[in-house]
Amino acid sequence: MRDSEIKELFAYNAWANRRVVDSISQLAAEQFSRNLGGSHGSIRGTLAHLAAAEILWLERWQGKAGGKLLPEQEFDTIEKATRRLTEIDEGLIDFINQFPESDLEKSKAYTTTEGKNHSNLFRHMFSHLLNHSSYHRGQLAALLRQAGAVPNPTDLIIFYRQINTPVSPD
């Protein structure tokens, strides 16, 4: 995986998160926090988990201690959740934009939230985070439908269509 691909995929991740937040903005507070039986209960719980994982990985990569997920209370309103996720995505983009391509094959040691020590290549951790966020955006789309909302599509190809002007095959 090249540096340009990593940057593009993290730009996609932030774009997709914004589209989810736009979908959530149409909800009432009760719909946002109602337990719908998802893996993290509510739309709020699932969004909080997605954001908490993103900041946790970013802090690991930056060498900060941590090791605990953000409390769901940081996402107690749609406005706070939107602001917090935007801040996290901006932090990820800043980190990735400064990350040297030569370090993609380097390992980074970290401690999981369960207290286990691991070490992985940066490119593997980056891929994991992007996959994790996509997985939970899919859950959010299902939860939004359960709440009666219409989720914005977050397909990668839609992102590519927006950033690239198609060339006609002449």
CATH number at residue 39: 1.20.120.450
The predicted-structure confidence for 12-27, as pLDDT tens digits, reads as follows 999 999 999 999 999 9
Tell me whether residue 18 is exposed, middle or buried, using C-beta atoms within 10 angstroms of its C-beta: 0 to 12, 13 to 18, 19 or more: middle
Q: Which domain holds residue 119?
A: 3-100+108-163
For residue 167, the model assigns a pLDDT of: 58
**Token pair listed for 31:** 């719909």
Tell me whether residue 127 is exposed, middle or buried, using C-beta atoms within 10 angstroms of its C-beta: 0 to 12, 13 to 18, 19 or more: middle
Q: How many domains does the chain have?
A: 1
Evaluate whether residue 159 is within a structural domain.
Answer: yes
Q: How many Cβ atoms are within 10 Å of 8's Cβ, its own excluded?
A: 16
pLDDT (tens digit, 0 to 9) for every residue of the chain, 170 residues total?
788 899 999 999 999 999 999 999 999 999 999 999 999 999 999 999 999 999 999 999 999 866 677 788 888 899 999 999 999 999 999 999 999 999 999 999 999 888 899 999 999 999 999 999 999 999 999 999 999 999 999 999 999 999 885 555 65
- Is residue 29 within 8 A of residue 78, CB to CB? The reply is yes
The predicted-structure confidence for 134-143, as pLDDT tens digits, reads as follows 999 999 999 9
Element (H, E) at 108: strand 107-111
Give Cα 6 distance to the centre of its chain.
Answer: 14
Whole-prediction pTM:
0.92
Evaluate whether residue 168 is within a structural domain.
Answer: no
Closest CA relative to residue 14, chosen from 48, 57, 52, 54: 54
